[in-house]
Structure 1
């Protein structure tokens, strides 16, 4: 399969967890060159969708296609080269140096000759070069998250999937991270993020998928999806989106 720009499509997807259906009849498409945010309240199915896209979770029905090919039939090693995935939360099981944690992202490629350069470049992208030799068990939550993000980026996979990547980051590094993902999409990659911050989603993303109760409630541009009426119905809050030069400030007002 080509390692170039890869569209990812989902067809009538259903997912069960703990004998409960968490996604039902979901169809959508993720395009190269686009940054897509998957949003919705807690329990809407965001993490489950991303795990299916990454091949971590098998669907109960439906299928995922990568560049028109059934993802379930792609060998695991090849799929790992095509799709890089960052889960919502993970704790290192042992105390290895940050640079070695990042290098784990290169395992699908064996031992590339430019390993050290790629690790350094990935750490630089997330402003974490200074942590390269520090044991990951001695990093703060935000520092560890940046190192984990570098692991996501180091393989330069054509599809990037990240679940709540801005969690635990301060404001500066949230913006830096979203700018980085924006650049990754602009370079032709397919980028899918689960986000809770609707203002970040509105500012940086091309498309928004809004999930509610395991179903796709809306899909489209930020202007189409992030409306006070729709967000009020799904989240149960009154809000405003103040758009200016294509950038929105999300202002929650009160509970409904």
Structure 2
């Protein structure tokens, strides 16, 4: 399990504080409006950023000063280098050993293509394939659905849901209905505050959700899937 014993981050317009919080295997979704602190919170777990003032994070009773062997991170954006997809995948391992990951994300026809020529969605699939290949016990993903078309959104979310059976997956998602469909738990952030923390998605407060997004929202069950609509 991933334990956040203490995390304090100071930004110019807000602070993020979290103590004595445990994430177990499952798909834990973070939602909230723009500027809520979702990305900063994920960076804090990793240990990235000058905003961190206090940080104590543990994985299976081991203090995580260096998270590189435990946590894989899929960022919103990542610098693109003048290399092809095959070379990019080799940055974290031999691409010959990544055939399963390449096939899963339908990248076989892209291996010789320069990273700089990929669309946003294509590059996101490369990032996911890289993390799939790394096979670390914790996955953090920031705006995981960004740049993906409908088909690819479900492909990536199906992968994360399957991975979450044995791994700890923490993902920020803007699409509220997508979040509610796949999440095991929901964490709702607003202005650096945790309005709901690792909450069962079936118990998420409509009032708090509406307050966070400053609009009246309703959670509906549609054929067994939870959807969020505007009232």
The answer to whether TM tops 0.5 is yes
Alignment of 1:167-178 (within 5 A): 167-178=146-157
Task: Give the stretch that moved more between structures: 199-208 or 50-59.
Answer: 50-59
TM-score with structure 2 length normalisation?
A: 0.91
Partner of 1:135: 114
Moved over 4 A (4+): none
Q: How far does the alpha carbon of each residue in 1:35-70 deviate from its partner, in whole angstroms, 9 at most, with x for none?
A: 100111111111111112223236312421111222
Whole-angstrom CA distance in 1 between matches of 2:187 and 2:140? 14
TM-score with structure 1 length normalisation?
A: 0.83
Q: How far does the alpha carbon of each residue in 1:82-139 deviate from its partner, in whole angstroms, 9 at most, with x for none?
A: 11111121230x2211122122233xxxxxxxx2343222222222222111111111
- The number of residues matched between the two structures is 229
Alignment of 1:178-189 (within 5 A): 178-186=157-165, 188-189=166-167
The answer as to whether partners of 2:185 and 2:201 remain within 8 angstroms in 1 is yes
Alignment of 1:84-123 (within 5 A): 84-92=72-80, 94-106=81-93, 115-123=94-102
Structure 1: tracts of 5 or more residues without a match: 1-6, 107-114
The answer as to whether partners of 1:207 and 1:221 remain within 8 angstroms in 2 is yes
Partner of 2:53: 60
Whole-angstrom CA distance in 2 between matches of 1:217 and 1:235? 12
Whole-angstrom CA distance in 2 between matches of 1:69 and 1:20? 33
The answer as to whether partners of 1:12 and 1:25 remain within 8 angstroms in 2 is yes
The answer as to whether partners of 2:14 and 2:191 remain within 8 angstroms in 1 is no
Partner of 2:32: 40
Structure 2: tracts of 5 or more residues without a match: none
Whole-angstrom CA distance in 1 between matches of 2:195 and 2:224? 23
Alignment pair present for 1:221 and 2:209: no
After superposition, the CA RMSD in angstroms is 1.8
Whole-angstrom CA distance in 2 between matches of 1:43 and 1:28? 22
Whole-angstrom CA distance in 2 between matches of 1:90 and 1:129? 21
